[in-house]
């Protein structure tokens, strides 16, 4: 464990450029942390989040909130769900990560969080035997890897799915592109979403994508590290988790 991951005050990013690929409108906290540690933040969003376009989304959410066990997949899932319906749960709440749990706590909901803050970690908390006979629900966006959906379906108790938001490619402009042309080779690119990385690979001009890949990718898991290498990053480090402090601690190494 990197000490800086548990003690952000020890983080030293002096002079280091940190590329933040989080969705539009969600990078402010990371930007502040990078600047506080002496780093140079560059925003390069790989995703834009939008409310669900499905008129039945509210009713689907009501059914989900009535389940025995409700899994929220991200802070955005909590935020967009709360816009549709007051978050009053009848059963237990589970969150993929600490950020999601904190978002739920703001609505008075205590959620269980896995030690390993990703889908695989949450699956360890949800063995099939513990789900049998329970009505389960999944609140999030369409798409993704489907691991949680498969586990909840396999229990056979019935799964309510509430798609409360959409993930779309972000619109990039000169504010995002110009810094890439000057990106130093020792820059760190924070990678916590395969979908965001794929969107950037598709939307960036080839010279800028190559410039990005010449930097060091900081992946939030071994799975994402493999995806980053396949996308073209020759140098990849793996953070302890997807938590911002863990990503920045790995970036400081």
Residues 13 and 113 in one domain: no
Q: What is the mean pLDDT of residues 99-126?
A: 88
Reading across the β-sheet that carries 40-43, which strands appear in turn? 40-43, 17-20, 188-191, 216-219, 235-238
Q: Dihedral sign, CA of 57, 26, 145, 153?
A: negative
Domain that holds residue 222: 3-47+172-252
Closest C-alpha among 92, 137, 98 to residue 114: 98
- In this predicted model, what pLDDT tens digit does every residue of 193-214 receive, in sequence order? 999 999 999 999 999 999 999 9
Residues 97 and 32 in one domain: no
Residues 126 and 231 in one domain: no
Residues 94 and 116 in one domain: yes
Contact assessment for residue 11 and residue 33, using Cβ atoms and an 8 Å cutoff? yes
Among residues 147, 167, 187, the one where a domain terminates is 167
Residue 85 is predicted with a pLDDT of: 94
Q: What is the mean pLDDT of residues 185-199?
A: 96
Contact assessment for residue 31 and residue 22, using Cβ atoms and an 8 Å cutoff? no
Strand partners, 41: 18
Average pLDDT for the chain: 91
**Range with the lowest mean pLDDT among 2-11, 106-115, 130-139, 191-200?**
2-11
Q: How far apart are CA 156 and CA 153, in angstroms?
A: 6
Q: How many CB atoms lie within 10 A of CB 23?
A: 18
**Range with the lowest mean pLDDT among 75-79, 151-155, 225-229?**
151-155
Q: How many CB atoms lie within 10 A of CB 110?
A: 11
Domain of 88, CATH number, reads: 3.40.50.10090
Residues 62 and 159 in one domain: yes
Contact assessment for residue 57 and residue 162, using Cβ atoms and an 8 Å cutoff? yes
- In this predicted model, what pLDDT tens digit does every residue of 232-243 receive, in sequence order? 999 999 999 888
Half-sphere exposure of 160 (CA within 13 A, CB side): 23
Residue 211 is predicted with a pLDDT of: 98
Confidence at 1, pLDDT banded by 50, 70, 90: very low
Q: How many CB atoms lie within 10 A of CB 14?
A: 10
Residues 137 and 179 in one domain: no
Residues 16 and 66 in one domain: no
User: Residues near 116 by Cβ (< 8 Å), separated by ≥ 6?
Assistant: 124, 241
Confidence at 143, pLDDT banded by 50, 70, 90: confident
**Residue matched to tokens 């689907």:** 60
Above 90 in pLDDT, residue 154?
no
Residues 179 and 218 in one domain: yes
Residue 145 is predicted with a pLDDT of: 63
Q: What does 127-138 look like in DSSP terms, one character per residue?
A: -HHHHTT--EEE
| More confidently predicted of 99 and 187 | 187
Q: What is the mean pLDDT of residues 124-144?
A: 85
Above 50 in pLDDT, residue 3?
no
Residues 151 and 63 in one domain: yes
Instruction: Output helix, strand, coil percentages for the chain, rounded to the nearest 5.
Output: 40, 20, 40
Among residues 136, 167, 198, the one where a domain terminates is 167
Among residues 134, 167, 200, the one where a domain terminates is 167
Above 90 in pLDDT, residue 105?
yes
**Range with the lowest mean pLDDT among 51-60, 126-135, 207-216?**
126-135
CA dihedral 161, 163, 226, 30 (to 10 degrees): -130
Q: Count structural domains, the chain.
A: 2
């Amino acid at each position: 464990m990197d000490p800086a991951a548990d003690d952000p005050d020890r983080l030293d990013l002096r002079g280091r450029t940190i590329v933040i690929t989080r969705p539009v409108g969600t990078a402010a906290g990371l930007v502040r942390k990078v600047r506080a540690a002496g780093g140079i933040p560059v925003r390069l969003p790989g995703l834009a989040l939008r409310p669900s376009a499905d008129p039945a989304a509210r009713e689907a959410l009501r059914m989900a909130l009535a389940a025995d066990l409700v899994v929220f997949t991200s802070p955005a899932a909590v935020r967009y769900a709360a816009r549709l319906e007051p978050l009053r749960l009848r059963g237990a709440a589970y969150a993929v990560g600490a950020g999601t749990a904190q978002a739920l706590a703001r609505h008075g909901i205590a959620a269980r969080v896995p030690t390993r803050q990703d889908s695989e970690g949450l699956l360890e908390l949800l063995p099939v035997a513990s789900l049998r006979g329970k009505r389960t629900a999944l609140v999030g966006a369409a798409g993704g890897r489907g691991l949680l959906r498969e586990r909840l379906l396999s229990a056979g108790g019935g799964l309510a799915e509430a798609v409360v938001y959409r993930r779309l490619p972000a619109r990039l402009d000169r504010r995002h592109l110009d810094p890439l042309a000057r990106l130093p080779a020792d820059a760190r690119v924070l990678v916590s979403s395969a979908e965001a990385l794929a969107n950037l690979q598709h939307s960036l001009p080839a010279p800028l994508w190559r410039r990005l890949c010449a930097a060091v990718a900081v992946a939030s898991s071994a799975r994402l590290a493999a995806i980053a290498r396949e996308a073209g990053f020759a140098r990849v480090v793996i953070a302890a988790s997807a938590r911002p402090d863990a990503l920045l601690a790995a970036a400081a190494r």
